[in-house]
Amino acid sequence: MKDKKQINRLKIVLVEQSRTNKWLAEKLGKNITTVSRWCTNETQPRIETMIEIADILNVDVRELLVSTKRERQ
């Protein structure tokens, strides 16, 4: 089975804020299954939705993404 690439940090940010994917689904008016799939990186939300999520969570949208820049060694 192929490993899923971690693209978003949505699950981590929700845990940091003591929030659940059910809570986020209700705030967004989305199906809980959809939000759960985002949290496991099975699928990704549209960029417009990521901006809306960042607004709801009061974070910069960049905090919801895994950095693609590698540290120099």
**pLDDT, position 50:** 98
Give a yes or no: residue 45 inside a domain.
yes
- Name which residue leads in pLDDT, 45 or 3: 45
Give a yes or no: residue 3 inside a domain.
no
Give a yes or no: residue 56 inside a domain.
yes
CATH number of residue 37's parent domain = 1.10.260.40
Give a yes or no: residue 1 inside a domain.
no
Give a yes or no: residue 72 inside a domain.
no
Give a yes or no: residue 14 inside a domain.
yes
Give a yes or no: residue 41 inside a domain.
yes
Q: Which residues of 39-67 are buried (b: 16+ CB within 10 A; e: fewer)?
A: bebeeebeeeebebbbeebeeeeeebbee
Q: Is the pLDDT of residue 1 over 50?
A: no
Distance CA 32, CA 63 (A): 22
Percent of the chain with pLDDT over 70: 90
At 65, is the secondary structure helix, strand, or coil? strand
The string of pLDDT tens digits covering residues 32-59 is: 999 999 999 999 999 999 999 999 999 9
At 35, is the secondary structure helix, strand, or coil? helix
Domain that holds residue 27: 10-64
Q: How many domains does the chain have?
A: 1
